[in-house]
Amino acid sequence: MAYGLWRLRLSMLGTLALVIGVSSLIISVLLSLIGAFSILTMLSIVILFSIVQWLIAPYMINFMYKVKEVPYEQSPKLHTMVEEVAKSANLPKPKVMYSPIKVPNAFAYGSPLGGSRVCITQGLLDNLNEDEIKAVLGHELGHLKHKDVQIMMFVSVLPTLFYWLGYSMMWSSMFSGGRNRNGGNLVLIGLLSLAVYFVLNLLVLAFSRQRELYADRHGAEVVENGAKRLSMALAKLDAYAHGMKRINPSSAKVSGFKSMLIMDPDSTSGINPRNLDDDSLLQNIASRKISTGERILGLFSTHPNTVTRIKILLSIAKANEY
């Protein structure tokens, strides 16, 4: 499955341009209907709220996932792995964080207040070998290098604006009682805004999936044999999530901030890992066909389907052999 780097970059650029273009067009229409002051005031409030959320998000994440910074003397091997991958990626070494949750995952995050951080869960340490953890770190440091936290915050402001605008117009129409022409206009503007929110949100989710593929490419490039190792890591994470969902569906769920994780633990390939060695597991997932239903559900996901990601990574690994 060929998925060239420039094709990916152009796809991201096109999606971003579409989000901005649609937003600008609809905002211009709404400005002419309800006046500049109200919508610009709401835009200012949404932007301010998003910035505050960005600044305090690391502290919220630390609280939610019981994240603590790892002192060097406590785990020099983990610090060395992060340092090696950061050096290969030409990045300053981020703070090394640890979460005791059993779901195997990793995520990169940060803000100007707390600096850049990369977190490894206990589940990841228990289920992946050192080479696979390095490949996962390569993916996460790709998010830091590509400024994905900041970029996704920017693009998420636009659908959020229309969401709140839509609901405020609907509430205003209810208080006006819809008894006059103005009340009817408010309903129409509210419905239009909510429809635009839905469309923009789909585009933002598509953009998020593209950024994940971009981070996969980074992991494949900055770690030796990174494409194969990252594909194996994703296969193991997929198998773990599938197994946990069969035993206890609620145990595989991670509430909130799933867009930051390397994969969505609520969505797996459905391959039963029982009696499969690592290579067989990888090949079984890579050969699986994605159903139409899964493709539709994938439109509402922050992450690409794991099967698709593994196929792309294996195609990169194969190309690197020549």
Which stretches of 177-305 are DSSP H helices?
181-222, 226-247, 278-286, 292-298
Among 172, 205, 173, 228, residue whose Cα is nearest residue 301: 205
- Quote the number of domains for the chain: 1
Exposed/middle/buried for 31, CB within 10 Å: 0-12, 13-18, 19+? middle
- Taking the model in full, what pTM does it have? 0.81
- Is-contact 233 309, C-beta < 8 A? no
| Count of beta carbons in the 10 Å neighbourhood of residue 18 | 15
Tokens of 39: 């919508």
- The three-point CA angle 181-163-112 to 5° equals 140
110, β-bridge pairs: 116
List, in order, residues 6 or more apart from 50 with CB less than 8 Å away.
Answer: 153, 156, 157, 160
Contact 211, 302 (CB under 8 A): no
DSSP 90: T
Cβ atoms of 214 and 203 within 8 Å: the answer is no
Cα-Cα-Cα-Cα torsion 236, 77, 65, 146, nearest 10 degrees, comes to -80
Condensed to tens digits (0 to 9), the pLDDT of residues 51-93 reads 776 677 778 788 888 899 999 999 999 999 999 999 999 999 9
pLDDT at 133 over 90: yes
242-270 pLDDT, tens per residue?
A: 776 655 555 445 545 566 678 876 677 77
* Entry field: residues in the chain: 322
- Which domain, by its residues, includes 125? 5-320
Structure confidence at residue 20 (pLDDT): 60
- Which backbone phi and psi does 225 adopt, to 5 degrees? 55, 35
The residues carrying an active-site annotation are: 140
Alpha-carbon torsion (205, 1, 267, 143), positive or negative: negative
Query: pLDDT (tens digit, 9 = 90+) per residue, 162-208?
Result: 777 777 777 666 655 545 455 566 777 778 888 888 988 899 999 99
Paired tokens of 264: 């969505």
SS3 98: strand
Full DSSP string of 149-207: HHHHHHHHHHHHHHHHHHHHHHHHHHHHTT-SHHHHHHHHHHHHHHHHHHHHHHHHHHH
Beta carbons within 10 angstroms of residue 284's beta carbon: 16
